Structure 1
Amino acid sequence: MQTEPQLRTVRCADADGGHDTAYWQWGPNSAPHVVVCVHGLTRTGRDFDALAQALVARVGAGVRVICPDVVGRGQSDWLKNPEGYGFPQYVGDMLALLQQLAQDGPMAQLDWVGTSMGGLIGMLVAGSPQLPLPMPIRRLVLNDVGPTIEWSSLARIGSYLGKTGMFNSLDEATGYLKTIQAGFGQHTDAQWRALSTHMVRPLPEGGLTLHYDPDIALPFKRNTPEQAQAAEAAIWQVYEAITAQTLLIRGAQSDLLSPATAQRMGEVGPKARLQVFENVGHAPTLLTPEQTTPVLNFLLE
């Protein structure tokens, strides 16, 4: 069984000459079933290691699982102009990635799994029929995110966003990540370490820091409740245009995705089926079989 993914890059356009977006590939280019998994705001594509390994174990050489590091995170380049950190750039980068994947090998099925920010990117890709996709998204998994995001949750995220810190050890960094990401729920020490290993990078002067550009916080922190409300109306329109079969995952204690938003998502547009995970907030990590199995069953049924 494949235990480590291949690290690859795709060249993406921006206003300052372009950048490389890194992505982690599980499975061969020849696999016709492509599953793209996109992480949350400050995370990396390695968040999906457990899900990717489970998919490859079940399907074998018939599936390619693609887990990008969104620009400014992980192994991807940082933007020269931080004003570019936003959904137009992220969607454009994902289109470039999908086009490269279609050139690499046959694509007979295209599915998307998105956690938080990655789910919003997925909604924009799946619900914008004018975009030049190599093929429509067939199945869409939205992990603890919807068109309406609770303002209190954005304020909580804004309180730590951009503070990449300096840590003397991986254990110290893991302890900090456990604090700011308590919504992930209960995990063993080994699981927290797995969730933290790819979230840090070494500093030239020694020690470790979080593996993202702190400037991703600049556009985020200028967001106002009025701007968020306007964006929400636009994203509901996009959501209602989605034709992919959709699975919505919600952490029972989520402060980002409310029960009312989840209910509405089951009634309009793709009429998402809802899967609630108990004893977790924002967001389920898809690390354990009890969380990965419903996703696998949905993607492969």
Structure 2
Amino acid sequence: MASTEGFSDFFYSVPDGLKLHARVYGEANSGHWPVVCLPGLTRNARDFHELALYLSARAAAPRKVVAFDYRGRGQSAYDLDIGHYNVGVEAGDILAGLAALEIEAAAFIGTSRGGLIIHVLGMMQPAMLKAIVFNDIGPVLEPAGLAHIKSYLERAPKPKTFTEAMDAQRGVHGHDFSALTDADWARMVRALNRETGQGLVPDFDPKLVDTVAGLDLTQPLPSLWPQFDTLGAIPLLAIRGANSRLLSTDTLQQMREHHSMMETITVEGQSHAPFLETGSLPHDIAAFFDRAERQYSQK
């Protein structure tokens, strides 16, 4: 693994032969639960860079942090079969990566699709999950939120310069993310895109858009309550953007009723999904993991 900017790049192969990528922060840190970061549908490990630096460098409890690129995103290989772009396959990929890193258990952070993958991991290997942060995701997905994501992906602008990309993101998401600063928007653009000879391009397989194009949002969506209920004994922090269309306040309340230990944070001025490096969120997430680890050690 070659070290750069506070992290090391880790590449591993999965059973079907694809070479996948993760970032490892605080590689030498031990003595505390590691943290595994799982991004959204078209996002990648860069979304967690600032949070991972914070969690890996805290003097009180420095943690190893692993942020994954799913297949078809970031530095992971693209899959010729778009049918493999699903949460079940991606959950298996995460397990393969953790096995390669010799991580048997960890605290997990899941943004959007990452939270859905955590639901699947809870069914596959529940003992691996020591604590969970859901970032604007739960067992029920609101059709309005999915429709918004689908519409954006299908009609996403194609800016070529950094300034154009900043303007495009603010044009689409500015109302929902009124709390963001210029620096926040700039980080978002850098995380979303990569530089090429033709300018900026989104850093994911374009065929991912096809996986949401066929969604029929006029029909009721299946929920994940049975999977969520398997997480009932695991410390859980649910973060919701106050303007979120994907995670409703009703679902958040039902999650509290199903999970007696769940803590919640609502992020004002943000939507789906809150930027975890903003405001007090890094401190809040770190403190949540610290509490969960202390409680576990006292059992």
- Structure 2 residue matching 1:229: 3-state secondary structure: coil
Cα shift readout 1:94-148 (whole Å, capped 9, x = no counterpart): 1101111216xxx5x51001111111111221x21xx257x52110000111111
Q: Are residue 290 (structure 1) and residue 280 (structure 2) matched? A: yes
Q: In the alignment, is the contact (CA less than 8 A) between 2:143 and 2:217 conserved in 1?
A: yes
Q: Which amino acid aligns with 2:209?
A: A
Correspondences of 1:1-301 after superposition (within 5 Å): 3-14=5-16, 18-29=17-28, 31-32=30-31, 33-59=33-59, 62-102=62-102, 110-125=106-121, 127-128=122-123, 131-132=124-125, 135-161=127-153, 166-182=158-174, 183-204=176-197, 206-225=198-217, 229-230=221-222, 232=223, 235-242=224-231, 243-269=233-259, 271-301=261-291
Q: In the alignment, is the contact (CA less than 8 A) between 2:108 and 2:129 conserved in 1?
A: yes
Instruction: Tell which deviates more after alignment, 191-200 or 19-28.
Output: 191-200
- TM-score normalised to structure 1 length: 0.87
Q: In the alignment, is the contact (CA less than 8 A) between 2:73 and 2:204 conserved in 1?
A: yes
Which blocks of at least 5 consecutive residues in structure 1 are unaligned? none
Identity across the alignment (%): 31
Shift of 1:298: 0.2
Which blocks of at least 5 consecutive residues in structure 2 are unaligned? 292-299
Q: In the alignment, is the contact (CA less than 8 A) between 1:82 and 1:215 conserved in 2?
A: yes
Cα 1:203–1:53 shift into 2, 3 Å? closer
Aligned residues: 285
Shift of 1:181: 3.8
Q: In the alignment, is the contact (CA less than 8 A) between 1:31 and 1:61 conserved in 2?
A: no
Instruction: Tell which deviates more after alignment, 276-285 or 177-186.
Output: 177-186
Shift of 1:289: 3.9
- TM-score normalised to structure 2 length: 0.87
Cα 1:61–1:152 shift into 2, 3 Å? closer
Report the Cα distance in structure 1 between the residues aligned to 2:220 and 2:213, rounded to whole angstroms: 12
User: What RMSD over aligned residues (CA atoms) do the two structures have, in Å?
Assistant: 2.3
Q: Which amino acid aligns with 2:6?
A: E
Cα 1:185–1:25 shift into 2, 3 Å? farther
Cα shift readout 1:184-210 (whole Å, capped 9, x = no counterpart): 442222221122113212344x22211
Report the Cα distance in structure 2 between the residues aligned to 1:162 and 1:221, rounded to whole angstroms: 8
Cα shift readout 1:175-233 (whole Å, capped 9, x = no counterpart): 223334443442222221122113212344x2221111111121222122477623x1x
